[in-house]
Structure 1
Amino acid sequence: MNLTQLTVFREVMETGSISQTAKKLNRTQPAISLALKNLEKALGLALFERKGRRLVPVPEAHYLLAETAGILDRLSTISTTMEGLIKGHSGSLNIATMPGPSAFLFPRFISQSVGENPEIRITLSSRSSPQIMELAGTQNIDFGFADFEYSFGRKPQYSAELIRADCFCAIDCEHPLASQGSITISDLDKTPMGGLHATHPFQRKVHREFQDMSANYNPTVTCQYFLPLIPFVSSGQCCTIVDPLTVATERELNLSNGKVVFMPFDNPLRYEYAILEPDHRPPSQLALKIKAGWKAEVLKMLKELKANPCTEWYGQEGGEQN
């Protein structure tokens, strides 16, 4: 007994005809007759009485039909489910992103990508970048999006696709520097500055840039991530160097009511994002689809900002790509 035989049997039960079953299944009448004959042989039971051109089922055939319908319907459900999984139209996804993009840009992308598809389940967590690296390393997420920090010592259990892009300086529109086409680190000497916590890798990078230019870094406001700094900038309390996705978020949300301008640097200060992928957790088709879509969305936004993005793999062989 096999699925082909059961499929033929169910259609014959519904049509009562070999010829109609052959048309419906797009097969020849001899092939239908042979499948039915082999099924009866396997069961040791004649399932139909032949009356003219019609086949009349015996009582046992009705019991077999009930069992067959359950098997074939279940198989159809499995086939449909697998097709959805393969095409990325169904499944579950566990993603972690750093606070900035998780406030607006990433949820917007996910909602547009998934739409109203009830077959997709999304778990989206907002975590610090070290926490996201830990989740990726312990294989507890499908992928993550974070600030990147190089790992020293033991090899990390994840791969990272880096996206590098130019930073900007957020300045109150009435600030004297706002009239310039671009600025330098030296222009910010002794200027009240907002920034991230001193232990953040980007903040350490900013401090090095000021030291290299013999400029005095004057921190007056410290936040966990960039977006909360924008109100302080718009009120004229400080300037701040921000990542380009913060610029994209502000342009979308206009938190400052147009009171903040974003200035490029003469000598670009680069920011590094990372799309983190666990090494030992094979990605689903849905995860591959969403991850590729998010990468394309990020690169699109960065190009629109003229932030000069490029990508590079970390954790496996590969070179930088423009």
Structure 2
Amino acid sequence: MNLTQLTVFREVMETGSISQTARKLNRTQPAISLALKNLEKSLGLTLFERKGRRLVPVPEAHYLLAETTGILDRLSTISNTMEGLIKGHSGSLNIATMPGPSAFLFPRFISQSVGENPEIRITLSTRSSPQIMELAGTQNIDFGFADFEYSVGREPQYSAELIRADCFCAVDRESPLASCTSLTISDLDGVPMGGLHATHPFQKKIRREFQDACADYNPTVTCQYFLPLIPFVSSGQCCSIVDPLTVATEHEMNLSNGKVAFVPFKEPLRYEYALLEPDHRPPSQLALKIKAGWKAEVLKMLEGVKANPRAKNFAEAEGKQS
């Protein structure tokens, strides 16, 4: 007994005809007759009696039909499920992203990508970048999106695709700095500044930039991530050097009601994002699809704010870093 024989049997039960079954299954009549004969032989039972040109099932055939229908319907369900998994139309995702994009940009992308598909289940966590790297390294997420930090010491257990883009200086539109076409670090000498916590790698980079320019860095507002700094900038309390996705978020959400201008730097300050994928957890087709879509979305948004984005893999970036 095999699936071809059961498929033929079910169609003959429904049509009562070898010829109609052959047409429906796009097979020859001899092939249908042979499949039915072999099924009867394997069962040791005649399933049909001939009444003229029609085949009349014996009582036992009705029991076999119920069992056959259950088997074939289950196989059809499995086939559809696997097709959905292969095409990325179903499955589950566990994703972690840093606080800034997780506030709006990333959930919007995920919701638009998934739509109303009930076959996709999403777990989206907001974590700090070091936590996301740890989750990727311990194989506990499908992928993550984070600020990138070069690991020191142990070999990372994840792969990384990096996106580098230009930072901007967020200033109150009433400030004289807002009228500048570009800024230098020296232009911010002694200016009240909003920034991230002192231990954040980007904040350390900013302080080095000020030191190299012999400029005074004057921190007046400190936040965990960039978006909460925007209200302080719009009120004129400080300026802030922000990553380009914050600029994209402000363009989309208009948190400042148009009161903040984003000015590029004459000598670009580059920000580095990372798409992190565990090394020892093979990605699903759904994860590959969403990850590639998010990368394309990020590059598109960064192009939209003229942040000059460039994508690299970790090996290329590490070689350049060293």
TM range (shorter): over 0.9
Instruction: Give the match for residue 181 of structure 2.
Output: 181
Q: Is 1:308 aligned with 2:308?
A: yes
Instruction: Give the match for residue 169 of structure 2.
Output: 169
Q: Structure 2: how far apart are the matches of 1:318 and 1:280?
A: 21
Q: CA deviation at 1:315?
A: 5.2
Distance 1:75 1:318, change over 3 A: farther
Q: How many residues in Structure 1 have an aligned counterpart in Structure 2?
A: 320
Q: What RMSD over aligned residues (CA atoms) do the two structures have, in Å?
A: 1.3
Q: CA deviation at 1:316?
A: 8.3
Point out where structure 1 has 5 or more consecutive residues left out of the alignment.
Answer: none
The one-letter amino acid of 1:157's match is Q
The one-letter amino acid of 1:221's match is V
Q: Structure 2: how far apart are the matches of 1:267 and 1:259?
A: 25
Instruction: Give the match for residue 266 of structure 1.
Output: 266
Q: CA deviation at 1:305?
A: 1.1
Q: Is 1:253 aligned with 2:250?
A: no
Q: Structure 2: how far apart are the matches of 1:318 and 1:98?
A: 22
Q: Is 1:239 aligned with 2:251?
A: no
Q: Structure 1: how far apart are the matches of 2:318 and 2:197?
A: 32
Deviations 1:110-144 (A, max 9, x none): 11111111111111111100110011011111100
- 4+ aligned runs moved over 3 Å, structure 1: 315-320
- Three-state SS of the structure 1 residue aligned to 2:135 is helix
Does structure 2 conserve the Cα–Cα contact (< 8 Å) formed by 1:312 and 1:318? no
The 5 A counterparts of 1:1-322 are: 1-314=1-314
Q: Structure 2: how far apart are the matches of 1:40 and 1:189?
A: 92
Deviations 1:194-246 (A, max 9, x none): 00001101001101111111111111100000000000000011000000000
Q: Structure 2: how far apart are the matches of 1:256 and 1:303?
A: 22
Distance 1:157 1:217, change over 3 A: same
The one-letter amino acid of 1:41's match is K
Q: Structure 2: how far apart are the matches of 1:64 and 1:209?
A: 79
Identical aligned residues as a percent? 87
Q: Structure 1: how far apart are the matches of 2:3 and 2:76?
A: 12
Q: Structure 2: how far apart are the matches of 1:148 and 1:199?
A: 14
The one-letter amino acid of 1:76's match is S
Does structure 2 conserve the Cα–Cα contact (< 8 Å) formed by 1:159 and 1:316? no
In terms of mean alpha carbon deviation, does 245-254 or 311-320 score higher? 311-320
The one-letter amino acid of 2:148's match is F
- Three-state SS of the structure 1 residue aligned to 2:140 is coil
The one-letter amino acid of 2:174's match is E
Q: CA deviation at 1:53?
A: 1.0
Q: Structure 2: how far apart are the matches of 1:118 and 1:126?
A: 23
Q: CA deviation at 1:318?
A: 9.9
The one-letter amino acid of 1:273's match is Y
Distance 1:51 1:319, change over 3 A: farther
Distance 1:41 1:108, change over 3 A: same
TM-score, normalised to structure 1's length?
0.97
Does structure 2 conserve the Cα–Cα contact (< 8 Å) formed by 1:313 and 1:319? no
Q: Structure 2: how far apart are the matches of 1:74 and 1:319?
A: 52
Q: CA deviation at 1:22?
A: 0.3
Q: CA deviation at 1:317?
A: 10
TM-score, normalised to structure 2's length?
0.97
